[in-house]
Amino acid sequence: MGTAQMMETTLAEVETPLAFESLPTARGLHWKDGFQGYLNTGERVAQVRVDGTGAVRIRVDLDRRPAPPEALVLNASLPANLRVAGPAHRPHLLADISARQAGFSRSLSEIRQGIRRNADGMGKGRRPPQGERGPYEHLFDQLRDGPGSLDVVDRDPGWELGLRFRGGRVAVQVSPERNGLRLYRIVLKQADLSTVDFGPGGRSVSDLALRLNERMRFVRLAQCDAGLAVEARLSRAFATAERVVETATAIAVVSAVVRIPLQLLLQMEGVARCYADTFDLPHGETQQ
């Protein structure tokens, strides 16, 4: 089974098919035919599609083509699950929202603002500063006392959520930010990434990460200080027990799928070189 098929099959484990009677509505969102439409973000028009599970996908092409390592760093500053995705020669911004959940219009507004500020691909955004634990203590007390196979451990400055997946415990980290929570799991450590720099391994890992971002839903691959992470961001309005569990589960599932192919590129130079040649990756230090 290929990586793309593995991704789609694995994500199906955390999605519930939905048959809904009407398309979601929000300011700036216009449906043309069937399940396709467009979103007016102010200066740009993004394509919108909704599938049978109720997942609404928003896409807009970037004005420029940032190098994959640069794009992955930009991803860590974007709201929700908005991310740069796709091959280096055709990068675009993607985001996903579930039509099943309350607050659809507000979620779409966050995505719209993120697209408007970053559609030029220049990476002006900065990661939100660290926030206080206080506003979320009750939420994690609720998760700690709730049913299921989730355990909550205090990890300064936030928490660690332990989920059971494929017979083992998968840890997802949660950090409070100024206006929300960041949930993430590191799949490649920064120390490992720094040893390959911009050689075949580094170029291939960055390129594959962006291609995987197109396959994933509700989470993203992003570059942070600790390394390459599967992550998502929940604003304070959506930091509920249900959303935290759903997001953490998606991160745990996706990280288990993407880690192996990424590690192969990082650790096996021959595989990385073959990947680079297959996709005609340049041998310079950056991709323009």
**pLDDT greater than 70 at residue 196:** no
Higher pLDDT, 237 or 285: 237
Helix (H) or strand (E) holding 47: strand 45-50
Q: What is the DSSP letter of 45?
A: E
pTM: predicted TM-score of the whole model, two decimal places: 0.86
3-state secondary structure 195-255: CCCCCHHHHHHHHHHHHHHHHCCCCEEEEECCEEEEEEEEEHHHCCHHHHHHHHHHHHHHH
Tokens of 218: 């509700």
**CA atoms of 191 and 262, how far apart (whole Å):** 15
Per residue in 5-56, pLDDT tens? 434 444 444 443 444 567 888 999 999 987 899 999 987 899 999 988 889 9
What residues contact residue 52 under an 8 Å CB cut-off, 6+ apart? 17, 18, 19
> Distances from the Cα of 38 to the Cαs of 26, 33, 209, in angstroms?
11, 11, 26
What pLDDT does residue 194 have? 75
Rounded Cα–Cα distance for residues 11 and 118 (Å): 27
8 A C-beta contact, residue 213 and residue 83: yes
